[in-house]
Amino acid sequence: MNDILRGLAEAGQLVVTADADLVEITARSLQVSLGATIIASAIGLPFGAWLAVNRFRMRRTVIALLNALMGLPPVVVGLIVYVLFSRSGPLGVFGLLFTPTVMVIAQVIIITPIIASIAHQAIRELWADYHDLLISLNTTRGQRIKALLWDGRRALLTASLAGFGRAIGEVGAIMIVGGNIDHATRVLTTAIALETGKGDFALALALGFVLIALAIAVNLALHMLTRTEKDSRW
């Protein structure tokens, strides 16, 4: 309990004094995780919608696979990405190992299934509602997906935010592919792991509280920007 209180106090102090190291790793955390969320959304949202609207033979298998991929252990993804981008690996020539770029790549792999799966579920329900109307209006497949994506945008935002939540709190993959290098690839979660390992629980907790506050702030900001819950009926 003592550690938690000290952690809270230290978090407050770091934030109020705008501690330079804290600002740096927080900015990098946002950079990596927001970047990964944007890319993963660009892939996952349309794919989820496409999957909801199209009927093809392997569909049930693809959906089951997608849901299973949500449970991909991040550390396994990290290992695979490491092996691919290692200098001894097939993609080593790009020299991306131990950079924020490869951290984004690893996180995109981890969160795209989550975003696609939630998007698929939301769009599927909406499609069930709109089905007869959109067929009756003689819409093309592209027009249907557009209408579903636009009208379902609130649910899609939830999907993206779920992906973001997973990314911002992720540590296993980015530790391996990023290396937690000071002033280069250290982010909030890997810094927390490091300080915990050193036994400095107060600092680790402080960073943890900053991370939680950050996640809340991003969510709030997005909800305010999109004016959800403004005129709810109940």
**Identified binder of another protein from the candidate list 42, 194, 212, 222, rule CB under 8 A:** 194
Considering only CA atoms, which of 179, 197, 185 is closest in space to residue 81? 179
CB nearer another protein, residue 57 or residue 132:
132
145, 46 Cβ separation under 8 angstroms: yes
Site for another protein in 91-110 (CB under 8 A): 92, 95, 97-98, 100
Q: Whose Cβ is closer to another protein: residue 28's or residue 166's?
A: 28
For residue 181, state whether it binds another protein (rule: CB under 8 A): yes
| Residues contacting 25, CB < 8 A, separation 6+ | 186, 187, 188, 191, 207
Of 157, 149, 154, give the one whose Cα is nearest residue 52: 149
Assess 26 for contact with another protein (CB under 8 A). yes
C-alpha angle with apex 31: 230 to 98, nearest 5 degrees?
155
- Residues 57-96 binding another protein (CB under 8 A) are 86-89, 92, 95
Burial status of residue 117 (CB atoms within 10 A of its CB: 0-12, 13-18, 19 or more)? buried
39 contributes a contact to another protein by CB under 8 A: no
3-class secondary structure per residue, 127-192: HHHHHHHHHHCCCCHHHHHHHHHHHCHHHHHHHHHHHHHHHHCCCHHHHHHHCCCCCCCCCHHHHH
Q: Is 184 in the site for another protein (CB under 8 A)?
A: yes
Residue 170 or 195 with smaller CB distance to another protein = 195
233 binding another protein? (CB under 8 A): yes
CB of 95 to another protein, least distance (A): 8
User: Which range in 41-49, 59-67, 68-76, 145-153 contacts another protein by CB under 8 A?
Assistant: 145-153
DSSP state of 56: -
Contact between 129 and another protein per CB under 8 A: yes
Binding footprint of another protein on the chain (CB under 8 A) = 15, 18, 23-24, 26-28, 30-31, 86-89, 92, 95, 97-98, 100, 126, 129-130, 132-133, 135-139, 143, 147, 151-152, 179-182, 184, 194, 196-201, 217, 231, 233
